[in-house]
Structures are given as structure tokens and as C-alpha cells.
């Protein structure tokens, strides 16, 4: 989100629905929940690296319902997983040029996976909605690994699946959790993109390179491959 799909166009309506659901229809309370999760009511965007921009539904539940029992907490997570899986995927808006870039990368035999703090089901449905599921080896949601981003588990899982080494992997993302995972997992390249909630200032300390969008990735990688080593 913010890497393949337009974060605000896809998720603002979903986030508002979740907040209203959590607030039992109380608009004032829902707005307070959205603000706590990182929504800026002045810019009408989620702040970089905020809970909703980079966290999981478990993170949202722990923030919004800190006093729930473990059982009730899991019920709330299941409820939010259902909302994000169904609504988030159905409302997915691809970023300009990204789908063509994914097809170009696949044609060049790059192995691709999705690492997200959304649910695995939501990620798979989103890829299907966008018509690019067949281009990916797998989608890893926060519930597919023991420790989601920024932990390295997803990098390890992708290596186990593909037989690639971490140093052969480029991690591309729009927030610090993505790049922190790249570093923790030993990825060969950490690529920040400015198409989501992250900014150049928030991404620069962790990124090897910053691109405007995944749409720029095929040309960047082609140029990188053509430069002689040393």
C-alpha cells in the first residue's frame, strides 16, 4: 500500500469505516481514533510511519482497544481483517504505471513477492483485483510469519520459497518498516518510493536509493545491471 496501490485513494474510506465501526457510529470518537492512528485532518492524509500507514490490524486494535481481553482482541482483529480484506481489495487503485512495470519485471524473470502488514488474504485479493496475482510468487501478510515487518521473517520466508539469497533481493517500500526489514534481513538493496506515505526525509536514512514510484524500477534496475562492477 503506497508501493503498488494509491494509499489514500484505496484506504481512506476503509480507515474511516473501521473507525466508525470501532466507535459504534460516534463521529467524534471515530475522528479521535483516526487521529490516534496517524490521520492528519489538515492534509487529509496519514502521516509517514503512522500506525495505519505501516502497522498491522493487531497494532490498530492494540491502539484503539488497549483494555480488551486477549480473546476479545482477537475477535476485533478478525473483524478488521475481514473489513480490510474485502473493502481494501475491492477499492484498490493501482498507482500510475505500476502494473506495466510489474509485467516488465516479470518478463525479465525477476521473482516477486509482496510483504505487507495487511492480512495475507487481503494482499492476495488485492493482487487479484489488480490483475497481477500471477506475476508474484507469494504474498506475505502480517499473519503469514511469526514476526511481521520490520522483523526479517518475511525476507527469510521469501528466500526459503524462491531459493534466493537475501543479498540477491531488493526490498521496495514507502515507509521505514519496509526499509528496516530490508536491513534486518540483509537485503542487497533497500529502495524507498515516494508514492505512498513516506517522504524523502523519512526514507533517506534507511534507503540505498529513493525513486518516485515502482514505475521507475525497471529502468533503474536495467541501468544498475549495465554498470560494470568495481
Determine the average pLDDT of the residues in 21-48: 96
- Rounded Cα distance between 62 and 12, Å, is 20
For 168, phi then psi, to 5°, come to: -95, 5
- State the average pLDDT over residues 171-189: 97
Longest dimension (CA), the chain: 61
Domains (ranges, CATH) in the chain? 7-90 (no CATH), 98-226 (3.40.50.1000)
Q: How confident is the model at residue 230 (pLDDT cuts 50, 70, 90)?
A: low
- Pair 34, 16: CB distance under 8 Å: yes
Nearest CA to 54 out of 105, 3, 116, 112 is that of 116
Could you give the CA distance from residue 173 to residue 181 in angstroms, rounded to a whole number? 10
Q: How far, CA to CA in Å, does 103 sit from each of 33, 131, 210?
A: 38, 11, 21
Q: What is the pLDDT of residue 157?
A: 98
Q: Which whole-number Å values give the CA distances from 90 to 49, 122, 181, 196, 199, in the listed order?
A: 24, 10, 28, 19, 27
pLDDT the model gives residue 229: 53
Residue with the larger pLDDT of the pair 1 and 39: 39
In the structure grid, which three cell numbers stand for residue 109, read together?
524473470
Enumerate residues 6+ apart whose C-beta is below 8 A from 217.
Answer: 101, 105, 172, 191, 211
Q: What is the pLDDT of residue 226?
A: 78
Amino acid at each position: 500500500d503506497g508501493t503498488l496501490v494509491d494509499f489514500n485513494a484505496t484506504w481512506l474510506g476503509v480507515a474511516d469505516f473501521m473507525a466508525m465501526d470501532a466507535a459504534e457510529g460516534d463521529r467524534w470518537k471515530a475522528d479521535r481514533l483516526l487521529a490516534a492512528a496517524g490521520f492528519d485532518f489538515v492534509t487529509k492524509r496519514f502521516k509517514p510511519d503512522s500506525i495505519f500507514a505501516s502497522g498491522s490490524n493487531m497494532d490498530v486494535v492494540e491502539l484503539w482497544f488497549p483494555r480488551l481481553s486477549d480473546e476479545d482482541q482477537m475477535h476485533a482483529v478478525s473483524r478488521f481483517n475481514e473489513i480490510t480484506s474485502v473493502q481494501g481489495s475491492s477499492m484498490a487503485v493501482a498507482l500510475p504505471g505500476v502494473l506495466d512495470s510489474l509485467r516488465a519485471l516479470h518478463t525479465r524473470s525477476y521473482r516477486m513477492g509482496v510483504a505487507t502488514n495487511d492480512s495475507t488474504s487481503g494482499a492476495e485479493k488485492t493482487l487479484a483485483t489488480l490483475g497481477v496475482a500471477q506475476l508474484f510468487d507469494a504474498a506475505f501478510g502480517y499473519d503469514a510469519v511469526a514476526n511481521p515487518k520490520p522483523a526479517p521473517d518475511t525476507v527469510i520466508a521469501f528466500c526459503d520459497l524462491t531459493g534466493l539469497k537475501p543479498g540477491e533481493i531488493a526490498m521496495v517500500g514507502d515507509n521505514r518498516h519496509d526499509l528496516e526489514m530490508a536491513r534486518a534481513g540483509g537485503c542487497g538493496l533497500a529502495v524507498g518510493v515516494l508514492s505512498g506515505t513516506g517522504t524523502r526525509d523519512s526514507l533517506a536514512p534507511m534507503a540505498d536509493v529513493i525513486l518516485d514510484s515502482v514505475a521507475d524500477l525497471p529502468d533503474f534496475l536495467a541501468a544498475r545491471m549495465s554498470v560494470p562492477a568495481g
